């Protein structure tokens, strides 16, 4: 009886279990439609199309991925051929049309393999389950699998099989940023899905299993082996016959060329970074001029090839349309595909501008009423600063004595530029203007830069500084750089006085004024009016050239992204040839104009050594004056009867040096004040002067001039001294140093001392 009772008890429990399972199935069937489907199934962001970037003429430049990082294209029902359906289901879910969203046979098989081998051998997810996973990603756990299974059952009560399959094919990841069949067919075969052959459809169907491991552009044999397995699987399922299989296996797979970001890649990346929050996915029409862009790229490559032996490997160019502020071209580097530096955008890198900031210092002087013919001393000058004495030198280490502001700016003389800044507000005032012009990378206080700001002691971006020059071209009207083609006008601000901006342009476009430093056959001298300025940072690390007409502004930088110095390449020999060639293209294809003088500009003759009315008409030269002003009359004691100019005594050292090339045209104002033997006096360095070593300069460039009131011999036990055409020089090293000067007789001496520190 005991066995019979046990059997009856087992039958009752089994019946109760089956009844409970039946009840749960009925209850689940009734409750299943009440479960909400994942919101992601209807979220347009999941199937968001890529953003198409267009040039200014409407031609396509690139498809930018959607917010999920993938390129997705819409997939209509008519776009899904039978070959794709067969290949996809053979690869992923052969019983798709026969199960309710979960495949029991596949689940049992996968579970058995897991128990037998202790690891996952094959998956059991159906197309419906994978679509749920795509719409609502979760951490991969057993609980997630159960949730996806239940939601897959729910999905199949709401959608028909065709809709589920089409949604899956429209979202699945095929690798290389391709989400969905349409994007994949276009990327790998340059075809629409409906044009795919069975072999191509099977090739694509194999990729979603492992998009990285099966990436055909990197591991083609793996992807091909997967395709062949899928084709044979189709035959095993009797979906195709032997002849169809043989034809598909024999068909060669020819991948389309991978899209190369060959058209203005730095420009496009800059556009995308500037418009991260684009509300619409409508095509974005940019300001890029493709013909100009290609020309700039060709010019950059050609010029770099010519100077590569001088360790110049990188260059950047920007071209702005001044009236609109539109960015027409941007070359960030010569080769986007370079493995280390290609994708660095030099137009946005922070670099030392060298002399390229000088025009804005002179602008301060003109705003204060100075005129272009005004004379400033280009002589050895020491400027006291909070950190020690600052003694700038000109690029060629020569001094020109009395020079006009026009010549000083046009020839990019350092000492007059520092003097002008010192006399007209210093670094605080120059920084104020530069910030108003958009040079936000100058983010330190004025005490950090000091008077050296006008010589390039700071870091700027090529694009920002080019737009500052464009503001000069617009006569002080500042516009932001525009990269998106729009009918709405860009906001503008009048940040600089228009007449003074015109005067800067007039000086920078004057080939005669810059002839002293650049010659009359300089690459900067074009057949059409062009205002231009070059710059070279310390140790030849950066080359700059900026030019503008009323219509266009071009900025050029040459250097190395790793900061290594070039070999004796200045702005005029490195960056300026690129500037000229770009402007020749602009002039030929778009036309360039001249700088129309303001109505209140007058021309008058001046003495080039005094800036005043000339003593003799034969010695005068023409100069322009703003606001109807005219040159001041000559001072009665400024000339001798023969027209010789009497220079103030501050020119005494220069007058006696080899740099004085004016000969009998000048003399000192008072001959009795000239130094005489027996009256030795050290003029520089002054006792207690503090000098700082510049880590950016080579050791042989860190030296000072030794200057005494009479011809003298110098000695110093701790510094290396060297004779120079202009006198003695001392090579600096850290420490306190005592120097001794002896006059020509060897009987009179004087001493001084200096201190040298590391910066």
Confidence of residue 744 (pLDDT cuts 50, 70, 90): low
Confidence of residue 20 (pLDDT cuts 50, 70, 90): very low
Structure confidence at residue 125 (pLDDT) = 83
Confidence of residue 284 (pLDDT cuts 50, 70, 90): confident
Structure confidence at residue 44 (pLDDT) = 45
Residues 57 and 197 in one domain: yes
Half-sphere exposure of 139 (CA within 13 A, CB side): 3
Structure confidence at residue 673 (pLDDT) = 38
What's the rounded Cα separation, in Å, for the pair 371 and 350? Answer: 33
- Asked if the model's pLDDT at residue 677 lies above 50, the reply is no
| Partners of 465 in the β-ladder | none
Give the mean pLDDT of 521-526: 93
- Asked if the model's pLDDT at residue 456 lies above 90, the reply is yes
What's the rounded Cα separation, in Å, for the pair 317 and 229? Answer: 52
What's the rounded Cα separation, in Å, for the pair 162 and 560? Answer: 57
Tally of residues, the chain: 759
Say which residues have a Cβ less than 8 Å from residue 531's Cβ, sequence separation at least 6: 472, 473, 504, 505, 506, 508, 509, 547, 548, 549, 595
Specify the 3-state DSSP secondary structure of 664: helix
DSSP label of 207:
G
Structure confidence at residue 154 (pLDDT) = 85
| 549, 579 contact by CB (below 8 A) | no
- Nearest CA to 93 out of 224, 226, 230 is that of 230
CATH code of 740's domain = 2.60.40.1080
- Asked if the model's pLDDT at residue 676 lies above 70, the reply is no
What's the rounded Cα separation, in Å, for the pair 686 and 593? Answer: 52
Q: pLDDT tens digit string along 114-148?
A: 555 554 445 568 888 888 888 877 776 767 777 78
- Asked if the model's pLDDT at residue 18 lies above 70, the reply is no
Residues 46 and 195 in one domain: yes
Structure confidence at residue 680 (pLDDT) = 75
| 318, 461 contact by CB (below 8 A) | no
Half-sphere exposure of 697 (CA within 13 A, CB side): 16
Q: End-to-end alpha-carbon separation of the chain, Å?
A: 105
Give the mean pLDDT of 49-68: 79
User: If you average pLDDT over each of 279-283, 390-394, 601-605, which comes out highest?
Assistant: 601-605
What's the rounded Cα separation, in Å, for the pair 347 and 330? Answer: 7
Specify the 3-state DSSP secondary structure of 118: coil
Q: pLDDT tens digit string along 691-716?
A: 888 776 677 768 888 887 665 788 99
What's the rounded Cα separation, in Å, for the pair 757 and 252? Answer: 72
Structure confidence at residue 133 (pLDDT) = 86
Structure tokens at 414: 């350092």
What's the distance, CA 654 to chain centroid?
43
Residues 668 and 610 in one domain: yes
Residues 406 and 480 in one domain: no
Q: pLDDT tens digit string along 634-661?
A: 888 888 888 899 998 889 889 989 999 9
- Nearest CA to 737 out of 759, 708, 717, 713 is that of 717
Half-sphere exposure of 568 (CA within 13 A, CB side): 2
What's the rounded Cα separation, in Å, for the pair 182 and 192? Answer: 6
Q: Is residue 255 situated within a structural domain? A: no
What's the rounded Cα separation, in Å, for the pair 714 and 146? Answer: 92
**3-state SS, one letter per residue, for 240-279:** CCHHHHHHHHHCCCCCCCCCCCCCCHHHHHHHHHHCCCCC
- Asked if the model's pLDDT at residue 273 lies above 70, the reply is yes
Structure confidence at residue 383 (pLDDT) = 87
Residues 72 and 115 in one domain: yes
- Nearest CA to 205 out of 168, 162, 238 is that of 168
CB atoms within 10 A of CB 489: 10
CATH code of 102's domain = 1.10.3810.10
| 668, 646 contact by CB (below 8 A) | yes
Structure confidence at residue 37 (pLDDT) = 77
Q: Is residue 108 situated within a structural domain? A: yes
Q: How many angstroms separate the Cα of 61 from the Cα of each of 130, 176, 178, 285, 288? A: 34, 18, 18, 10, 10
What's the rounded Cα separation, in Å, for the pair 173 and 134? Answer: 9
Boundaries of domain holding 435: 354-458
What's the rounded Cα separation, in Å, for the pair 598 and 476? Answer: 13
What's the rounded Cα separation, in Å, for the pair 60 and 394? Answer: 49
Structure tokens at 58: 């409407």
- Asked if the model's pLDDT at residue 45 lies above 50, the reply is no
Confidence of residue 571 (pLDDT cuts 50, 70, 90): confident
| 76, 54 contact by CB (below 8 A) | no
The number of folded domains in the chain is: 6
Specify the 3-state DSSP secondary structure of 436: helix
Structure confidence at residue 67 (pLDDT) = 57
Q: Is residue 486 situated within a structural domain? A: yes
- Asked if the model's pLDDT at residue 113 lies above 80, the reply is no
Q: What is the dihedral of CA 241, 243, 247, 248, to 10 degrees?
A: 10
CATH code of 556's domain = 3.40.710.10
What's the rounded Cα separation, in Å, for the pair 222 and 192? Answer: 24
Judged by average pLDDT, the poorest of 16-30, 247-261, 438-452, 542-556 is 16-30
Residues 176 and 309 in one domain: no
Helix axes 358-367, 462-473, angle to 10 degrees: 30
Helix axes 358-367, 414-423, angle to 10 degrees: 40
Q: Is residue 190 situated within a structural domain? A: yes
Q: Is residue 277 situated within a structural domain? A: no
Structure confidence at residue 15 (pLDDT) = 53
Say which residues have a Cβ less than 8 Å from residue 665's Cβ, sequence separation at least 6: 609, 644, 645
Residues 23 and 59 in one domain: no
Say which residues have a Cβ less than 8 Å from residue 176's Cβ, sequence separation at least 6: 187, 188, 211, 215, 217, 258
pTM of the model: 0.73
Residues 698 and 580 in one domain: no
- Asked if the model's pLDDT at residue 89 lies above 80, the reply is yes
Average pLDDT of the chain to the nearest whole number = 86
Structure tokens at 123: 């998956």
Among 574, 595, 616, the domain-final residue is 595
CA angle in degrees (0–180, nearest 5) for 100-106-110: 140
Q: pLDDT tens digit string along 323-380?
A: 999 999 999 999 988 888 889 999 999 999 999 999 999 999 999 999 999 999 999 9
Q: Is residue 514 situated within a structural domain? A: no
| 685, 752 contact by CB (below 8 A) | yes
Residues 289 and 372 in one domain: no
Residues 437 and 484 in one domain: no
Structure tokens at 503: 């005067």
Higher per-residue pLDDT: 79 or 10 = 79
Residues 155 and 192 in one domain: yes
CB atoms within 10 A of CB 754: 24
Q: pLDDT tens digit string along 149-201?
A: 888 888 888 889 988 898 899 889 898 888 889 889 988 998 989 999 999 99
Q: Is residue 27 situated within a structural domain? A: yes
Read out DSSP for 592-639? ----PPPTT-EEEEE-TTTSSS-SSGGG-EEEEEGGG--PPPPPTTSB
In sign, the C-alpha dihedral spanning 598, 602, 603, 609 is negative
Say which residues have a Cβ less than 8 Å from residue 136's Cβ, sequence separation at least 6: 38, 39, 40, 151
Structure confidence at residue 679 (pLDDT) = 63
What's the rounded Cα separation, in Å, for the pair 345 and 723? Answer: 45
> How are beta strands 682-684 and 493-494 bridged, if at all?
unpaired
For residue 178, which phi and psi values (nearest 5 degrees)?
A: -95, 115
What's the distance, CA 345 to chain centroid?
4
Q: Is residue 231 situated within a structural domain? A: yes
Residues 99 and 158 in one domain: yes
Give the mean pLDDT of 259-270: 83
Specify the 3-state DSSP secondary structure of 557: strand
- Nearest CA to 416 out of 352, 361, 472 is that of 361
- Nearest CA to 557 out of 758, 287, 284, 356 is that of 356
Read out DSSP for 322-355? TTTTEEEEEE--S-TT-TTTTT--GGGSEE--GG
């Amino acid at each position: 009886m005991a066995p019979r009772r046990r059997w009856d008890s087992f039958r009752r429990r089994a019946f109760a279990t089956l009844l409970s399972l039946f009840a749960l199935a009925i209850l689940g069937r009734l409750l299943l439609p009440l479960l909400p489907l994942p919101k992601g199934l209807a979220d347009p962001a999941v199937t968001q199309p890529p953003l198409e970037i267009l040039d200014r003429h409407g031609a396509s430049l690139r498809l930018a991925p959607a917010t999920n990082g993938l390129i997705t294209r819409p997939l209509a029902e008519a776009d899904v051929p039978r070959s794709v359906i067969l290949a996809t289901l053979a690869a992923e879910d052969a019983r798709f049309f026969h199960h309710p969203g979960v495949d029991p046979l596949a689940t049992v098989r996968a579970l058995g393999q897991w128990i037998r081998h202790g690891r996952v051998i094959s998956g059991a997810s159906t197309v419906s389950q994978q679509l749920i996973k795509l719409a609502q990603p979760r951490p991969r756990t057993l609980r997630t699998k159960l949730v996806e299974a239940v939601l897959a059952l729910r999905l199949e009560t709401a959608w028909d099989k065709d809709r589920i399959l089409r949604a899956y094919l429209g979202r699945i990841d095929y690798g290389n940023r391709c989400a969905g069949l349409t994007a994949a067919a276009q990327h790998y075969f340059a075809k629409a899905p409906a044009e795919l052959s069975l072999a191509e459809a099977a090739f694509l169907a194999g990729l979603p299993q492992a998009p990285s491991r099966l990436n055909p552009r990197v591991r083609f044999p793996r992807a091909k082996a997967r395709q062949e397995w899928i084709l044979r699987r189709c035959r095993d399922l009797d979906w195709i016959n032997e002849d169809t299989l043989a034809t598909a296996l024999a068909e060669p797979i020819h991948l389309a060329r991978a899209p190369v970001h060959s058209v203005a890649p730095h420009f496009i990346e800059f556009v995308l970074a500037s418009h991260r929050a684009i509300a619409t996915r409508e095509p974005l029409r940019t300001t890029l001029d493709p013909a100009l862009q290609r020309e700039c790229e060709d010019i950059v490559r050609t010029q770099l090839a010519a100077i590569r032996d001088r360790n110049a490997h990188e260059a950047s160019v920007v071209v702005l349309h001044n009236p609109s502020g539109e960015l027409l071209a941007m070359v960030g580097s010569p080769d986007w595909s370079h493995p280390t530096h290609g994708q660095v955008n030099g137009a946005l890198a922070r670099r030392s501008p060298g002399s390229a900031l000088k025009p804005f210092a002179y602008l301060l002087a003109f705003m204060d009423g100075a005129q272009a013919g005004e004379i400033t001393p280009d002589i050895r000058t020491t400027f006291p600063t909070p950190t020690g004495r600052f003694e700038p030198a000109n690029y060629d280490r020569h001094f020109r004595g009395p020079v006009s502001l026009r010549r000083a700016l046009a020839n990019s003389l350092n000492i007059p530029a520092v003097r002008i800044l010192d006399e007209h507000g210093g670094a605080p005032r120059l920084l104020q203007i530069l910030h108003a012009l958009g040079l936000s990378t100058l983010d330190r206080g004025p005490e950090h830069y000091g008077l050296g700001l006008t010589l390039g002691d700071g870091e700027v971006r090529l694009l920002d500084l080019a737009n500052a020059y464009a503001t000069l071209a617009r006569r002080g009207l500042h516009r932001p750089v525009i990269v998106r083609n729009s009918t709405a006008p860009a906001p503008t601000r009048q940040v600089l006085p228009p007449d003074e901006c015109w005067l800067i342009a007039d000086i920078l476009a004057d080939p005669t004024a810059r002839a002293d430093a650049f010659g009359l056959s300089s690459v900067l001298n074009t057949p059409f009016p062009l205002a231009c300025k070059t710059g070279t940072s310390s140790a030849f690390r950066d080359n700059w050239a900026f030019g503008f007409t009323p219509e266009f502004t071009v900025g050029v930088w040459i250097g190395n992204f790793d900061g290594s110095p070039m070999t004796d390449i200045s702005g005029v020999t490195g960056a300026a040839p690129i500037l000229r060639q770009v402007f020749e293209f602009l002039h030929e294809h778009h036309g360039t104009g001249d700088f129309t003088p303001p109505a209140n500009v007058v021309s008058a003759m001046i003495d080039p050594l005094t800036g005043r009315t000339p003593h003799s008409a034969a010695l005068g030269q023409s100069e322009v004056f703003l606001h109807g002003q005219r040159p001041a009359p000559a001072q009665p004691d400024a000339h001798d009867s023969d027209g010789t100019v009497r220079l103030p005594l501050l020119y005494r050292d220069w007058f006696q040096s080899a740099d004085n090339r004016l000969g009998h045209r000048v003399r000192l104002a008072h001959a009795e004040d000239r130094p005489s033997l027996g009256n030795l006096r050290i003029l520089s360095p002054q006792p207690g002067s503090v000098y700082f070593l510049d880590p950016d300069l080579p050791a042989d460039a860190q030296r000072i001039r030794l200057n005494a009131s009479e011809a003298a011999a110098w000695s110093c036990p701790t510094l290396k001294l060297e004779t120079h055409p202009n006198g003695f020089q001392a090579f600096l090293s850290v420490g306190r140093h005592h120097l001794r000067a002896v006059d020509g007789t060897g009987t009179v001496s004087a001493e001084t001392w200096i201190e040298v520190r590391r910066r």
